[in-house]
Amino acid sequence: MSTEMQKDIVCPQCGRVQKLEMTVSVNSEENPEIRRDILREGIFDWECLSCGYTAQMAYPLLYHDPKHGFMVALRPSPSVGKAEAVPAVRGLRLRSVKSPQELKEKILIFEAGLDDVAVELVKNAITTVIHKSFSGALHAFFCAMDGEEMRFAIFVRGRTEPVYQTTQASVYRQSQEVLRALDYRDPDEFIVVNAKLAEQLLEEYKSM
């Protein structure tokens, strides 16, 4: 079941103090409706009852999926509320993310039966190639696995709409081979798996 709490929040536009309803712990099997809200990117939407001001109020949230064997701790910074220490659970893939978009991506990756570390290596390969066509920073998000194709949304600084890119699943399998060569294993603690980790692993692989 989910765990909820309330926090007073001041509207930045009109100054009215209101209650923010926060779902701080979610079990995806017991709360499928909250899972849907996360994937629709609507769970953190907030609207002032006085003036109608809207904003995304991201706060610490622990997402547990027993079926697919993972747990993700959302720890936004700056955030509404304070992130509590979360004990590691053996036998689960444990991840820590900073944004609702990263939380959504982890859910999509693990539900697709993929390794997010290998996916980060794929994203590194994609952004390295398409960076030649765009100026500005690139941030890739996994969208879906369709047969032998992987689909990604690439956000480019200065553009409001993402660029969608597909790549063959063979690139993912090559990334898995890189991890096997490195004998990479997840530690029994919450870790950040992102572009920085992918770069570190690729440097280790090149130096072998």
Mean pLDDT of the chain: 90
Global confidence as pTM? 0.89
Which helix (H) or strand (E) element contains residue 130? helix 116-130
Sign of CA dihedral 163, 169, 171, 175: positive
Mean pLDDT over 11-33 rounds to 91
DSSP calls for 144-203: EEETTEEEEEEEETT-SSPEEEEEEHHHHHHHHHHHHHHT----SS-B--SHHHHHHHHH
Cis before 78 (ω within 30): yes
Q: Which sequence spans correspond to the domains of the chain? A: 3-111, 116-206
What three-state secondary structure class fits 61? Answer: strand
Cα separation, 138 vs 135, in Å, equals 9
Q: How confident is the model at residue 87 (pLDDT cuts 50, 70, 90)?
A: low
**Region 63-73 average pLDDT:** 95
